[in-house]
Amino acid sequence: DAGITQSPRHKVTETGTPVTLRCHQTENHRYMYWYRQDPGHGLRLIHYSYGVKDTDKGEVSDGYSVSRSKTEDFLLTLESATSSQTSVYFCAISGRPGDTGELFFGEGSRLTVL
């Protein structure tokens, strides 16, 4: 299995509080991604990173920010959590997302915003 660790795996929080999810990899892969998974929507890209301090928005980035200060860590922050951000969040990594690259996924972080 690819070395990807997400933390926390489960979190319950209240509306308006800040939340940070962490993705840690031991594969030294350049590309890292945050997705959210919701019933009926599949996986939707929130943000991704193509190197240290290099990040870009995905299709559902509103209300989320990310940071990548080291190759191995990619943080997803909800500055002020809302109930619509209740979801399962997946981190994924890829070394060569071009012609032959694939994504390796973490086990997910289940976030409930009350």
Partner 1 sequence: SQQGEEDPQALSIQEGENATMNCSYKTSINNLQWYRQNSGRGLVHLILIRSNEREKHSGRLRVTLDTSKKSSSLLITASRAADTASYFCATYNTGNQFYFGTGTSLTVIP
Please give the residue ranges that form the binding site for partner 1 (CB under 8 A): 4, 31, 33, 35, 40-45, 48, 50, 58-59, 90, 92, 94, 97-108
Residue 53 near residue 69, CB atoms below 8 Å: yes
CB of 102 to partner 1, least distance (A): 4
Residue in the block written with tokens 């795996």: 9
The per-residue DSSP string of 27-62 comes to S--SEEEEEEEETTTEEEEEEEEEETTEEEE-TT-T
Residue among 28 and 80 whose Cβ is closer to partner 1: 28
Residue among 32 and 113 whose Cβ is closer to partner 1: 32
**Positive or negative: CA dihedral 55, 60, 63, 64:** negative
Residue among 61 and 65 whose Cβ is closer to partner 1: 61
CB of 43 to partner 1, least distance (A): 4
Cα 77 to Cα 67: distance, rounded to the nearest angstrom: 8
Residue among 15 and 101 whose Cβ is closer to partner 1: 101
CB of 4 to partner 1, least distance (A): 8
